[in-house]
Structure 1
Amino acid sequence: MPRWVFGVRPVLELLRANPRGVDQLLLPPGKWSGTIREIETLARQAKIHMRPAETAEFERLSQHGHHQHVAARVAEFSYADFEERLDAWQASQPRPDLLVLDGVQDPQNLGSLIRTAEAFGTGGVVLPKDGVAPVSDTVTRVSSGATEWLPICRVTNLVRAMEALKKAGWWIIGASPDADLSLYDEDLSGSTAFVLGAEEKGLRRLVREACDRLVSLPRLGRVESLNVAVAGGIVLAESHRQKRTAKASGHGRSAE
């Protein structure tokens, strides 16, 4: 079923990544400049049907959401095949970090995590088919279009997928506020799959047990835990920092 994607940056990334997936583009009436002009140019090159639309139509289609007077109609989001992506990740040098999300149901958090993962060069995101927010217009908008660049897989059995990653050589690190080991004391210099849990309940028991190690994010304040999107950003940033340090020094799991 076709869906609408709204916003200047998400639509621009759609056209850059997969213009064939766009069959209609709505733009504000009048002369275009800046990024909207770039969107128009890409759409014209891809021979996408464009037409002007008034504010009322954008409001109706977006259900009064954030639209920035730009909208693209695209096919239903296509998830990547996990087995195919696993082969591709294994063939990459160096092997990328991965993000595994257990029950993240808030589309704002999911979009933020996907945006952060893409920014730090993460190889992809693995989601369970049930109990998680789907990749929707909101997710694409919040991700600033990163959903169009980053492979996102859905699997029937998340624990089984984690075991496959482990067998393929990834170190599986789960984030949990009650873990004794600090994130900053763990060696993240090699290929790592980070597992983050639901906003309220955290990691499910079987998912926790499938992790090689559980780490916590040290806090100085009184708040018991961090928002999952914030936690994901901290984890991926620390992993990126350690990998750069290991590469420069020639030490760490990435250098083995």
Structure 2
Amino acid sequence: MMGKHTILEGYVSVRAALKANSRDLHTIFIRHDKWDKGVAWLERTATDAGIPVQRVDADVIDGHAGGKTHGGIVALAGPRRFVTLDEIGTATAAPFVAMIDGVEDPFNFGQAVRALYAAGCDGLVLRPRNWLSAASVVTRASAGASEWMPTAIAETVLDAAQYFRTRGLAVACAAKDRAVSIYDADLTAPLFLVIGGEKRGITRSFVEQADLRLAIPYGGDFDQSLGTAAATAVLAFEVLRQRM
């Protein structure tokens, strides 16, 4: 983050924010010698939308960016726009909504969102947090999916679960005890999937009240949990597989 702006780095991140209209873009900086079809589209689309585009030297780009993977493009952006819980999952009879809670590392968070979006998740729920300072990492790690994904805020996991239950979604989470294999569970019905972080996970009290406790079978003798991003991908793509 720089001042009151967050920095989006790289063509994929900036393009996603521009096309999804997920946040205001105040200025886009492009290295003066960078020319290709994608850049031409970016310049044209941003200009048509009234967003200033500046051609600058590489050191200006580097001065704004937090890393070296920007590819010569950065944008000064505003905060992420969120939708309401009522707006998530309304376009389908069997919505698949996910909530990520307790994931502190922005790269892991971005990777998890990337998997959910690729698997067709209809919307994401988060607890209140200032993700502005981590938006650059999250957007790059998610390959722009964090900008495309309809995202809402709920005060607590329990609040979100209670809300989606009233809409007929089954509340599911990963668990070790009294859990059913994801390959035996019916994941085709309306589903609200809660994903916990690697350190804090999901509270035992929440697991106990979940409608569906899911287990990911392992192919070998391994007594540790998968990382959040990997577990999210396995769970999300099993939902997709069953619904195809």
The DSSP-based 3-state class of the residue aligned with 1:93 is coil
Report the residue type matching 2:228 in the other structure.
V
Mapped partners of 2:26, 2:172: distance in 1? 41
Q: Tell me which residue corresponds to 1:217.
A: 216
C-alpha distance in structure 2 between counterparts of 1:179 and 1:230, whole Å: 22
Q: Secondary structure at the match of 2:183?
A: helix
1:51 aligns to what? 54
Shift of residue 64, structure 1, vs aligned partner: 3.1
Q: How does 1:55-94 map to 2 (within 5 A)?
A: 55-82=58-85, 84-86=86-88, 89=89, 91-94=90-93
> Quick check: 1:125–1:152 contact (8 Å CA) kept in 2?
yes
> What's the CA shift string for 1:17-74, capped at 9, x where partnerless?
2288212110011251132222122112223211122222222222335311101111
Q: Match of 1:146, as an amino acid?
A: A
CA deviation digits over 1:161-202, x for unaligned, max 9? 101111210011101245542111111111111111111232
In the superposition, relative to structure 1, how do residues 136 and 206 fare at CA in structure 2: closer, same or farther (>3 Å)?
Answer: farther
Amino acid at match of 1:85: E
The structure with the largest helix share of the pair is 1
In structure 2, C-alpha distance between the alignment counterparts of 1:150 and 1:229, rounded to whole Å: 16
1:136 match: secondary structure: helix
Q: 1:99 to 1:31 in 2, by over 3 A?
A: closer
Letter in 2 for 1:124: G
* In structure 1, C-alpha distance between the alignment counterparts of 2:9 and 2:108, rounded to whole Å: 18
1:176 and 1:202 in contact (8 A); partners too: no
1:16 aligned to 2:19? yes
Structure 2 distance, partners of 1:196, 1:206, is 15
Corresponding position of 2:44: 41
The separation in 2 between residues aligned to 1:99 and 1:2, in whole angstroms, is 28
Cα contact 1:162–1:210 (8 A) shared by 2: no
Q: 1:153: how far off?
A: 1.6
Partner amino acid, structure 2, of 1:23: H
What is the Cα-based RMSD across aligned positions, in Å? Answer: 2.1
- Give the length in aligned residue pairs: 239
- Aligned match of 2:147: 148
**8 Å Cα contact 1:104/1:133 also seen in 2:** no
Q: By how many angstroms is 1:2 displaced? A: 2.1
Alpha-carbon spacing, 1:200–1:191, altered in 2? closer, same or farther (3 Å): same
Residue 81 of structure 1 and its aligned partner are, at CA, apart by 2.4
Q: How high is the TM-score relative to the length of structure 2?
A: 0.89
Matched, 1:102 2:106: no
Aligned pair in 2 of structure 1 residues 129, 206: CA closer, same or farther (>3 Å)?
A: farther
CA–CA separation in structure 1 for the residues paired with 2:216 and 2:67: 37
Q: Which runs of 5+ in 2 are unaligned?
A: none
Task: Give yes or no for contact 1:125–1:150 (8 Å, CA) kept in 2.
Answer: yes
Name the % identity. 26
Does the CA contact (< 8 Å) of 2:34 and 2:72 recur in 1? no
What secondary structure does 2:149 align onto? coil
Deviations 1:65-92 (A, max 9, x none): 531110111111223222x325xx3x42
Sort the Cα spacing of 1:226 and 1:19 in 2 relative to 1 into closer, same or farther, 3 A: closer
AA aligned to 2:56 is A
Matched-pair contact (CA < 8 Å) for 2:126–2:151: yes
Q: Distance in 2 between matches of 1:50 and 1:110?
A: 30
Residue 166 of structure 1 corresponds to which residue in structure 2? 165
Deviation at 1:209, TM superposition (A): 2.8
Show the counterpart of 2:30. 27
Alpha carbons 1:19, 1:46 under 8 Å: kept: no
Distance 1:193 1:19 in 2: 23
